[in-house]
Amino acid sequence: MSVTAGVALAVADAVWAEIRSAGLASDEHLSILEALFGKNMVRASKILDEGGVRRVTGAPSGRSLFLVMGESKRKEEYICFPEHLCTCYSFFYDIVSRGEQLCCKHQLAARLAEAVSKHQNIEAASYSFGLHGISL
């Protein structure tokens, strides 16, 4: 990761922390995040506004992941760990392979949802998490 990318992520982490402690994202927060992440942040806000973020928490483990709706007409959902991974094509192509983005719109939508507690919560038995997907 370049120094610039590291600085951008550090700034973003500070903004996410502020949003989390305020419980809401101000216009200033959103404009900083848009400056850092560009169109992906705008798309992430849209996904969240449309109720496209669900947090699945295992019981009794308490471990969780996010399911984030894609924007295509197929309305696919991607498994997302906001700071580390998304199962969408863009994550592997734009981020892991080409290194042109810091994170995808689904990761941003999940981080924003988590920071403002604006996601559906689903509890799933831990045994339903597995290599073959999630059954809810």
Q: Using CB under 5 A as the criterion, which residues of the chain lie in contact with Zn ion when the complex forms?
A: 86, 88, 91, 104, 106
Q: What is the nearest approach in angstroms of Zn ion to the Cβ of residue 85?
A: 9
Q: What is the nearest approach in angstroms of Zn ion to the Cβ of residue 88?
A: 3
Q: What is the nearest approach in angstroms of Zn ion to the Cβ of residue 21?
A: 26
Main-chain dihedrals φ then ψ at residue 18, nearest 5 degrees? -65, -45
What is the C-alpha to C-alpha distance for residues 63 and 76, in angstroms, rounded to an integer?
23
Nearer to Zn ion, 18 or 94 (CB): 94
Nearer to Zn ion, 18 or 42 (CB): 42
Q: How far is CA 83 from CA 57, 75, 122, 127, in A?
A: 17, 22, 20, 24
Cβ atoms < 10 Å from Cβ of 45: 18
